[in-house]
A = this chain, B = another copy of it.
Amino acid sequence: MTAAAPRLEPRSETLVDALRESILTGRYAPGTRLVQEDLAEAFGVSRIPLREALRRLEGEGLVVISPNRGAIVRPLAPKDVVDLYDLRLALETLAIRRAAERYADLRESTKTLAAQARRAIAARAMPTIFGLDRDFHAELAAASDNPHLVAALGGQWSQIMRVMHAYFQVANYPAAVWHDHEAIADAVAHGEGDAAVARLTTHLSESRDAILAHLRSNGGRA
């Protein structure tokens, strides 16, 4: 297992995931210059697939590429946190409204969602928790039956993860998060869009404020 397994997918695919991971976890801090040759050597590939990976991350908003000047990890100011959560609220509100409209078709998946939330309350390992949070919101998006919305939310989620990681390195997930998730899932399952949206609104506001408070106390650097 130490030797590389034979590749099934193109290098640029795995590169995107590896680079994204490195950025989300803060291994490459905001503002860091991403020199193509260095990265290529680090990942054991040539610059060609690496450049494509950077282009895709640019599309996700994780890196900024200036022509002839190279790529940097996108800086992240407190205002970005506010803006991102504002946008996310609008998108997830739409997702919930559409999901609640078709709740009859969703009985199974919403039950799964709520059960997942309840199980998550017991979880402790940080990567697991991140994954569960991500999965919950991804499923919620999928329930909207709007692929374009799903894509838009997927793109934003990378940014959100970056923000959350900066925060949750020190603090722990408040248990309230999972109760919010359960409440949202239940409301959607009963077609109560307004209730679900209301809960989501406070859910996101609290997350955002907690992150902002943490950032400010730490001195929001770039």
State the A residues within 8 Å of B (CB). 9-10, 13, 48, 51-52, 55-56, 58-61, 67-68, 80, 83-84, 86-87, 90-91, 93-94, 98, 146-149, 151-152, 155-156, 159
- The interface centre, meaning the residue of A83, A87, A146 with most chain B CB atoms within 10 A of its CB, is A87
Instruction: Please state the number of chain copies in the assembly.
Output: 2
Q: B61 near A151 (CB under 8 angstroms)?
A: yes
Closest to A92 in B: B90
Expressed in whole angstroms, the Cα–Cα distance for A39 and B83 within the complex equals: 39
Q: A148 near B9 (CB under 8 angstroms)?
A: no
What's the dominant secondary structure at chain A's contact region?
helix
Chain B: minimal CB distance from A34 (Å)? 15
Chain B: minimal CB distance from A113 (Å)? 22
Q: B148 near A159 (CB under 8 angstroms)?
A: yes
- The interface centre, meaning the residue of A58, A91, A149, A152 with most chain B CB atoms within 10 A of its CB, is A152
Q: B94 near A86 (CB under 8 angstroms)?
A: yes
Closest to A146 in B: B83
